Amino acid sequence: MSIFSPIRGGVHPEGRKGDTAGQAILTDIPLPARLSLPLFQQAGASALPVVQVGERVAKGQCIGVSGAGLSTRLHAPTSGSVVAIEDIVAPHPSGLPATSIIIEPDGEDRWQERPREDDPFARSPEELAEEVERAGIVGLGGAVFPAAIKLRQGRRYEIRTLIINGGECEPYLTTDDHLMRERAAQIVEGARLIQHIVECYEVIIGIEDNKPEAVAAMREAAAPFGKVEVKTVPAMYPMGSAKQLIQALTGREVPAGGRSNDLGILVHNVATAYAIQQALRHGRPLLSRVLTLAGGCVSRPRNVEALFGTPIEHLLEQCGGLRDTPARLVMGGPMMGQALPSTAVPVMKGTSGVLALTRREVNDQAPSPCIRCGRCVDACPMGLMPVEMAKFARADDFDGAAEYGLRDCILCGTCSWVCPSHIPLVNFFEYARGEMKQRRAAAQKLEYTQRLTEARNARLEREAEEKRAAKAARAAKKKKPARRATAKADNEASTTTSTEDCDS
């Protein structure tokens, strides 16, 4: 039995994983009529399209390159033709438009030429990190942070421990559970490849103790490798959060405002480790992912492996469709997921699940005034004071909210879940964080504009000075012949005077 350290706070929501647990991942899904690939699928900037309308593409071909700042590549999930580059409804609660590349599959599923398969452990860590970058891999646990950047950050620190996160504490979701049951060997090899890249000493695979089949499969796959250990942690929410899993497995706490790198620890999700193994062992860029389709409105809930760009409604049809109109459609889990505007939106890299929830499952209740019971404080896994943060956030006093730890909030929703007044606390924190981000962006833009203005003024002053110097040089050049002529005339006059004096 694994030894773990207790974590602060947390809750035990009803798991509701039984409907999809025990069923194999559905992989044989017909191609949809169109694949819609938003250029914004990761933390940071949008990708930039490198294909044109009418162009034929092969499976695995790069169709979008990294933009400015944090970004990653985008690849064609199958062969076909680019029929449009246009705005579609974004898989986001706002329903705002998202520029997307629209591909019409040709049914051939024709791969572009792929590199030969060789031993990735014989290649240099930097070469492997570059390959991960070219494969367009992001963190598939929810953060969608470009994996190559995280690997390179790990190389800049002395990473001693790599943790592979198999927590999956959100209700309904069983994606990672089934990946570990069915593809344990590939995940373990992916973990060892990450270990090779960051050159760390040990690998710990952390799995909640309510997944015995996954634990057994991963232990069997890890058995031949002495520096890969599988440990179990208690099933509770939010154990799948990196900071909580680190504390449970190592007894060490990431400091406020700090990162796991500061402790010499790097965390990657099991699905990310699998994607890295597929890229480095088989040359396959990130084209698809496994996600959970569940909720009371889904006729036959299960896990499916879907190409990016596939409409959600197409996947639901493979599960028997919807038996009723959902009271809420959620991308992700019910605790941290985002409401979707419709089932027409596509699967993206960060789509870990889609829940079609009944009114009973949603259990919406009108909020009432705070009774200062302190339950949110007791439940907060980060040791914050949600009630105080919400008070300042509601008053648009974001500096006040920040003083109570808003930046350390992981937006897990435990405070909202335990609140007897049904106050949507996490909504206030998301609002405040969004406003703070916009203000930082505005301040950075203002600072950038000021720098440009100062640089322009300095350039204009320099050019004016150069013009003045050139004008003075030209004037001096004109005066020099004039002075010569005057001197010559004076000399001639002097000579004439001298001659006249001699004649006299």
Dihedrals phi, psi of 319, to nearest 5 degrees: -105, 25
Q: What separation in angstroms does the CA of 209 have from each of 66, 230, 453?
A: 39, 11, 59
8 A C-beta contact, residue 19 and residue 89: no
The larger pLDDT score, comparing residue 287 to residue 157, is at: 287
409 a known binding residue?
yes
| Per-residue pLDDT reduced to its tens digit, 360-374 | 999 778 899 999 999
- pLDDT band for position 478 (cuts 50, 70, 90): confident
373 a known binding residue?
yes
Return d(Cα 235, Cα 16) in angstroms, integer. 13
| Per-residue pLDDT reduced to its tens digit, 293-316 | 999 999 999 999 999 999 999 999
Res 33: pLDDT: 96
Strands ordered across the beta sheet of 62-65:
48-49, 62-65, 74-75
| Per-residue pLDDT reduced to its tens digit, 178-227 | 999 999 999 999 999 999 999 999 999 999 999 999 999 999 999 999 88
All domains of the chain in start order, with CATH? 124-353 (3.40.50.11540), 365-486 (1.10.1060)
297 a known binding residue?
no
Q: What separation in angstroms does the CA of 333 have from each of 126, 350, 356, 413?
A: 35, 12, 11, 11
- pLDDT band for position 474 (cuts 50, 70, 90): confident
Q: Model-level pTM?
A: 0.86
209 φ/ψ sector (left φ>0, alpha ψ -120 to 50, else beta): alpha
Task: Specify the 3-state DSSP secondary structure of 141.
Answer: coil
Query: Is the dihedral angle over the CA atoms 487, 490, 494, 500 positive or is it negative?
Result: positive
The larger pLDDT score, comparing residue 5 to residue 134, is at: 134
Res 226: pLDDT: 84
- pLDDT band for position 501 (cuts 50, 70, 90): very low
User: Own/partner pairs for 176-179, CB < 8 Å, 24+ apart?
Assistant: 176/141, 176/214, 176/269, 176/270, 176/271, 177/17, 177/21, 177/211, 177/213, 177/214, 178/20, 178/21, 178/23, 178/24, 178/25, 178/214, 178/290, 178/303, 179/25, 179/270, 179/271, 179/274, 179/290
**Token match 């001699």: residue?**
502
Residue 504 has pLDDT above 60, yes or no: no
Choose the weakest-confidence range: 165-169, 406-410, 475-479.
475-479
The larger pLDDT score, comparing residue 482 to residue 182, is at: 182
Residue 494 has pLDDT above 90, yes or no: no
Tokens of 153: 């950050």
- β-partners of residue 97 are 89
- pLDDT band for position 500 (cuts 50, 70, 90): very low
Choose the weakest-confidence range: 27-31, 255-259, 346-350, 462-466.
255-259
Tokens of 142: 């929810």
Residue 84 has pLDDT above 90, yes or no: yes
136-150 mean pLDDT: 90
Res 328: pLDDT: 94
415 a known binding residue?
yes
| Per-residue pLDDT reduced to its tens digit, 104-114 | 999 999 999 87
422-438 mean pLDDT: 88
76-97 mean pLDDT: 88
**Nearest C-alpha neighbor of 392 from the set 377, 378, 379, 402:** 402
| Per-residue pLDDT reduced to its tens digit, 6-23 | 888 999 999 999 999 889
412 a known binding residue?
yes
Q: 360: which residues sit within 8 A by CB, 6+ positions away?
A: 296
502 a known binding residue?
no
- pLDDT band for position 493 (cuts 50, 70, 90): low
Residue 3 has pLDDT above 80, yes or no: no
- β-partners of residue 275 are none
CA 391 distance to own-chain centroid: 29
Res 428: pLDDT: 92
Report which residue type is found at 389: M
419 a known binding residue?
yes
> How many H helices and E strands in the chain?
14, 16
- pLDDT band for position 480 (cuts 50, 70, 90): low
Q: Would strands 97-105 and 35-38 be described as parallel, antiparallel, or unpaired?
A: antiparallel
**CA-based R_g, the chain, Å:** 32
Res 482: pLDDT: 60
Residue 416 has pLDDT above 90, yes or no: yes
40-60 mean pLDDT: 91
Report which residue type is found at 162: L
Res 2: pLDDT: 61
Query: Is the dihedral angle over the CA atoms 335, 338, 340, 345 positive or is it negative?
Result: negative
Computed over every residue of the chain, the mean pLDDT equals 90
Residue 118 has pLDDT above 90, yes or no: no
Tokens of 201: 């000493």
Percent of the chain with pLDDT over 70: 93
